[in-house]
Structure 1
Amino acid sequence: MNKLTMAVIGLGHMGRHMIHRLLPQFAEKIELVAVCDNDESSMQREVTEAGIRPQLYTDYRQLLDEVALDLVYIAVPPSLHYDVARIAFEKGIHVFCEKPLANSLTEARSLVELAEKANVLNAVHFSLPLDPAVLKLKELVEEQAICGIQRMDLYLEFPQWPRAWQQNPWITSRQQGGYLLEVGIHWIQMIQQVFGPITHVKSEIEFPTDSHQSESRVQAVLRLHNGIEIHLSGTDKREGEERVSLVVHGEEGTLALENWRNLYRSGKDTDPQPVPVDDVVSPLPILKQIIQILNGDSGIIYDFYDGYNAQVILEALRKPGVGFTDLRPQLMGDKQ
């Protein structure tokens, strides 16, 4: 079996994670043949540290034009996702894209259409629904472990934004950055996968006086298709450590997914207790699933359709209307 050929475009945090941590796990199945970043010296340093010798480019258009590829991983800022993916689709290259899918709902919808026309694999790097703690949460919900769900609370609370490890020129920009775009999108998409469509959003959002800066405070209500409400609290001025969590309140207790991967369960009259997830078999990482699919086997991915539907909710949060906004006319229905 021939190795799949892959390029990484963008060596920010996720691009570096790909070349240093993920790709070495699958060295027998996929080969990194090209890398692109606009910082040539940093790019050279990263590939040297990774012990690899791909072709290096500072122009993604040139890379996509000159290198024969099976797959491209797009890890550039959101404003560039559309153009990189568009060119890749035109050349029949499979696309693995970071979230959010695009920089606007218009771009996201266009990318769905371009992906369908190209008839190639298209995946967004959403991994939270397949994390062991989330799989266990879903299992407990389906087993009615806390009986009927009454409401949920979603916390996106940070003592500062960006976080210390997350410094780059766009992460605080109103156009491309902020914790809703960077972090909230993961939880929105996970909720859509585990609990079903979010159909209505009511949001209050505060921005700094600097018109270029991303959101500071968010208070919102997201209503599921079945009427269950999710109350969202977001801030970049939390006292103490950050909290990124979902708490599911049921008739007979709660399930709390705290700080991404710590699952707790409590009864009506009992304190929260940790829920072990060591026995849960996860299909992660997403790259593994993509490799399986490209080699003709089955796999689980979240495609541009899923990315678009998550972005519908994201844009409603960032650009609130008066009262609840009905998002059903914008959401894409079942995949064909």
Structure 2
Amino acid sequence: MLKVGVIGLGAIGQRLIKGFQSHHETEIAAVCDTVEERTNEIAAELGGIPAFTNHKEMLDNTKLDLVYVAVPPKFHHAVASDVIEKGIHILCEKPLANSVEEAESLLKKAQDAGIVHAMNFPLNYSAGSRTFERLIKDNYVGELRRVQLKMHFPEWPRPWQQNAWVASKEQGGYVLEVGVHFIQQLQKIFGIVKVKDVQLQFPQDPQASEIAILALLELSDGTPVLIDGMSQIAGKEEIAFTAFGNQGTLSLLNWAQLEGGKLGEDILPLHADDSLTDSLVDHLVKAIKGEDSIIIDFAAGYDAQVVLEQLRKG
């Protein structure tokens, strides 16, 4: 049984706890968060496991095989470095760090340590996004003409994630929180992408994150990639990742739904192949056991960070 420690018990950190709980080869052995009341409450829910408010104390006093780092991005480098120095396998939330330099440092440390280093990019394990990837590789759209990412939010931060860091220019904003998932998918499915031009809009508050982005990127073959992001606008939240080709159009909508059509046809909902649904926890266990696995490692996290920081800085 692999013993897992969780550092960071916000909404994102708690989401994966259920996955570790339900897997027959993993168990949560310790939790840590700076909010003591939250930590004690979750530890009690998990059967009275050890609870900490200092991650170094958790690492020093608990035998762990894997640590999931789910703290805000500003703290990734310091916390993940401490985990790596202990020689413990690591799963880190996205983005890898809060700068390209920090991301590069973590990648080198993890590689030198010889541990499993993984990123939590859940699109790589979901039926919708994996069906999207398969259809692209099966030439559904034909010769690629354009890739487009639309991110529209009536309100940012969204009602369920009202906290200071998600709203901040320093370590938040939807380009970071949402966009990085699709930067990683772009790189995985379509290859190297370069940033050509970025226009950002910010509110009057100098500490607040972006309210609009319009960016032009380019794949290695010259195919344009357009990013259209806006917040504080009328309407419903809409996230659309779309590939336009000379034979058809294919979109992944709001994380999970597929739609598409061939040239001359209407755009209609498409069925995601549920057999492609996979489990990040399953693959982490396989990786730690030395078996074949699908892991989005720190190298992929670094590559995504390079593009992310260019977009965030304009």
Q: Distance in 2 between matches of 1:243 and 1:140?
A: 22
2:186 to 188, 191, 205: 191
Contact 1:245 1:258 in 2 (8 A): yes
- Classify the secondary structure of the residue corresponding to 1:280: helix
Equivalences for 1:1-336 in 2 at 5 Å? 3-19=1-17, 21-26=18-23, 28-48=24-44, 50-283=45-278, 285-320=279-314
Unaligned runs of 5+ in 2: none
Q: Distance in 1 between matches of 2:284 and 2:79?
A: 19
Please name the residue that 1:328 is paired with.
none
Contact 1:160 1:238 in 2 (8 A): yes
Q: Distance in 2 between matches of 1:158 and 1:309?
A: 26
Q: Distance in 2 between matches of 1:22 and 1:140?
A: 28
Q: Deviations over 1:101-147 (max 9, x none)?
A: 00111100000110111110100101213321222222222222221
Alignment-mate amino acid for residue 309 of structure 2: E
Contact 2:43 2:50 in 1 (8 A): no
Q: CA RMSD in A?
A: 1.3
Alignment-mate amino acid for residue 226 of structure 1: D
Q: Deviations over 1:167-195 (max 9, x none)?
A: 22311011111001111000100111111
Pair 47,66 (structure 1): closer, same or farther in 2 beyond 3 Å: closer
Please name the residue that 1:324 is paired with.
none
Q: Distance in 1 between matches of 2:274 and 2:123?
A: 17
- Classify the secondary structure of the residue corresponding to 2:198: strand
Deviation of 1:200 (Å): 3.1
Q: Percent identity?
A: 38
Alignment-mate amino acid for residue 94 of structure 2: K
Unaligned runs of 5+ in 1: 321-336
Pair 263,159 (structure 1): closer, same or farther in 2 beyond 3 Å: same
Contact 2:30 2:43 in 1 (8 A): no
Q: Distance in 2 between matches of 1:121 and 1:59?
A: 23
Deviation of 1:237 (Å): 2.3
Deviation of 1:155 (Å): 0.5
Q: Which has the higher helix share?
A: 2
- Classify the secondary structure of the residue corresponding to 1:62: helix
TM-score of the pair, normalised by structure 1: 0.90
